[in-house]
Homo-oligomer: A and B are copies of this chain.
Amino acid sequence: MAQIRAGLVGVTGYTGMELVRLLENHPVINLVAVTSRSDAGKKVRDIYPFMQGFPTGDLVITVPDAAALAKACDVVFLAVPHGVAMEMAAAFRAEGVAIIDLSADFRLRDVAVFQEWYKTEHAEPGLLQEAVYGLPELYADKIATAGLVANPGCYPTASILALAPALKNGFIDPDGIVIDAKSGTTGAGRKAVVGSLYCEVADSFKAYNLTKHRHTPEIEQELSLAAGKAVTLSFNAHLLPVNRGILATIYTQLKGGVSFDAVYDAYVAAYEPHPFVRVLPKGALPELRNVRGTMFCDIAMAHDPRTGRLIFVSAIDNMCRGASGQAIANANLMHGLPLETGLMLAPMVP
């Protein structure tokens, strides 16, 4: 099969690191260029000694250069902070390169909403119209023909997959939803800050950014589309002393006349064609370790007749499914490959 040449802008963060790991195992997409302003000139194995012995380990890191990457690559992954990504994306699109952007820059369809939550002007509102939201279970067809894919956030991936079928089918009240989400520390990025030091995170746990997390509008955007009406919900995040993983516990109200079994059966049916979403057997509950390092989104649900609550629990690996692995899944679709290509990974347990 013809090999696909991939570039990675921003190799030094955790999502860049995960792209390196995952693409090493990909049978078709090959990493041919990686960039970093701070580490240009070094080999990948100099900064990532775990890549010694793999071809990618010997790649020389370069400074990002849109024209050069455009020549060398069929697809480019942008693993740079929001704000930076939008300008780079424009440069690449001008060269005709297919882009998968792992930042938040192209996820929100409404520029005003973006500017309200991110407190910054959007430099490329035109590109926003072109961008496709890269959640394969919802938008596989559009992704397949897209030139610019906005890779979903980690929390939104776990939240949207858990709630979309229930809202689409009208099983639950679209008002009053609470998402209580817990993330591993890779979610905080690889920046050297005191708050992310081992001794500040280990053996502890906390909530953060209550009521203000920027993934909120992204979740509301997609769930409003699923519900066919505006959904406003409470999304809140916590920091877990683990490297990877997101587990979201989601509290909804089951509508009168809807049975738990009907919901469960609808979920099984909805995700039957989607191998990366695993609806767990009734009574089972997700655990982070069962999805670690993989593309799976494990979903369970429980009904509480005392309160009428229908509770969803969903778990993903924030680095793989919630970022880099999903980016590769999108690249697969954009190049006509089966979604699972190179990504059907069994988790390492324990």
Contacts and interface: CB of A to CB of B under 8 A. Distances in A.
Contact of A242 (B205, B247, B286): B205
Interface string A172-211: 0000101010100110001011101111111111111011
Contacts of A204: 242, 245, 287-289, 292, 350
Contacts of A232: 306-307
A233 B20 CA distance: 41
A208 B285 contact: yes
A278 interface: yes
B290 A50 contact: yes
The 4 A-B pairs at the shortest CB distance, nearest first, are namely A211-B304, A204-B289, A50-B290, A198-B201
8 contacts: A53-B275, A176-B176, A198-B202, A205-B240, A205-B288, A207-B313, A234-B306, A238-B247
Contact of A206 (B176, B210, B285, B302): B285
Copies of this chain, whole number: 4
B194 A190 contact: yes
Interface residues of A, number: 81
Contacts of A296: 53
B286 A350 contact: no
A176 B200 CA distance: 34
A346 interface: yes
